[in-house]
Amino acid sequence: MADDVKALSAQLAQDPNSLVFLRLGEMLRLKGLLDAAHRVALNGLERHPHSADAHDLYARILADKGDFERAFDEWDMALRIAPTHLGALKGLAFLYFKVGDVAQAAAHLDLAQRAAPGDPSVEQALAMVRGGEAADAARGVGVASAPASPTAGAPPAAAAPMEDARVFAGLEGAEEGLLLLDSSGRVLGGTLRDPAGQDVSDAVAAYLAGVSQEAGRTAKLLGLGSWTGLAAEAGAGHVHLAQPTGDALLLVVRDRAVPMGRLAILAERAAQAARRWLEQQA
């Protein structure tokens, strides 16, 4: 395999625009040379930003490194480019499974099965997801069991730490920094921690009770139509409030390094997830 790596590296050096980086990156990933694979994938992505395969490769490497948030983004991007991309569907299924959202995992694997009928890896992953074998499901979708993750190798019950986290399964900051509440300030899902790590979800939710109505009345009085988002900057972070449904409010909190525009995109994704989750609960 070392010779193959050398040969592929030489090919890539000869023609940096070729797609050989996909094979080289995957080979390095399988050998566990994740930093080298990461570099190859990133360089490839710079030259081929619209290649779903490149995003899929990068996502696999990120997942192997335990960076599931960014892996989710990359597989999500791959699916936007190629909606039936097998690797992306399997990868997202894996991430959903990791946080205990078996329904979403199975739904993505069903789509993968339709995209590639008879693919043994999909069938194996589906069987394992339905049977609840986390490590086997990960093998089925071709992703390492991510030793960096605290939930790696754990049974499904432990991989799904709590119902709250499932609301935002697979999203960036799914387990902190996202809070879903009802109009009376009760927490419906998600968790918010202050910089010291203390859970402040209930306190923050209580202060936000009634914000949705006030935002709506303000917009109406000013003839601005319906409100779509409320963003704010503070000394140590940025927040964005969205309204996934008429009587729910979603808060996304990030540090100041995350630009407000990026935060709005994150909030929109989280609002979609919250909307789906609320519909399932109804």
Partner 1 sequence: MTAVAFQRALDLVTRVRGVRGAMLVELGDGVVVAEHLMEGIKGPAVAALAASLANRLGRAMEAAGLGAGVYWHLQASEGALLAVPAASGILVVAVTEPEVNVGLVRLELLRAAQAVT
Distances (CA, A) of 42 to 49, 142, 270: 10, 20, 26
Compute the distance between CA of residue 213 and CA of residue 45 in angstroms, rounded to an integer.
44
User: 241 — phi, psi (to 5°)?
Assistant: -110, 135
Distances (CA, A) of 280 to 68, 161, 166, 167: 24, 19, 12, 10
Q: Are strands 187-191 and 178-182 parallel, antiparallel or unpaired?
A: antiparallel
Q: Of residues 121-180, which lie at the interface with partner 1 (CB under 8 A)?
A: none
Total residues contacting partner 1 (rule CB under 8 A)?
Answer: 38
Does position 218 interact with partner 1 (CB under 8 A)? The reply is: yes
Please pick, from the candidates 233, 259, 272, 281, the single residue that binds partner 1 as defined by CB under 8 A: 233
The answer to whether 241 and 271 are in contact (CB under 8 A) is no
Tokens linked to 120: 């043994």
Least distance in angstroms from the C-beta of 73 to partner 1:
23
What's 282's DSSP letter?
A: -
Does position 257 interact with partner 1 (CB under 8 A)? The reply is: no
Does position 227 interact with partner 1 (CB under 8 A)? The reply is: yes
Does position 66 interact with partner 1 (CB under 8 A)? The reply is: no
Does position 120 interact with partner 1 (CB under 8 A)? The reply is: no
Does position 217 interact with partner 1 (CB under 8 A)? The reply is: yes
Does position 246 interact with partner 1 (CB under 8 A)? The reply is: no
Does position 224 interact with partner 1 (CB under 8 A)? The reply is: yes
Does position 230 interact with partner 1 (CB under 8 A)? The reply is: yes
Cβ neighbours, 10 Å, residue 42:
14
State which residue, 66 or 229, has the beta carbon closest to partner 1: 229
State which residue, 41 or 241, has the beta carbon closest to partner 1: 241
Question: Strands (DSSP E) along 58-199, which ranges?
Answer: 178-182, 187-191
Please pick, from the candidates 30, 33, 260, 269, the single residue that binds partner 1 as defined by CB under 8 A: 260
Compute the distance between CA of residue 33 and CA of residue 27 in angstroms, rounded to an integer.
9
Stretch that binds partner 1, among 61-69, 147-155, 159-167, 229-237 (CB under 8 A): 229-237
Handedness of CA 87, 171, 266, 41 (dihedral sign): negative
Least distance in angstroms from the C-beta of 246 to partner 1:
15
Contact flags string 180-199 toward partner 1, x per CB under 8 A: ------------x-xxx---
Q: Which spans of this chain sit near partner 1 (rule: CB under 8 A)?
A: 192, 194-196, 200, 203-204, 207-208, 210-211, 214-215, 217-219, 221-237, 239, 241, 251, 253, 260
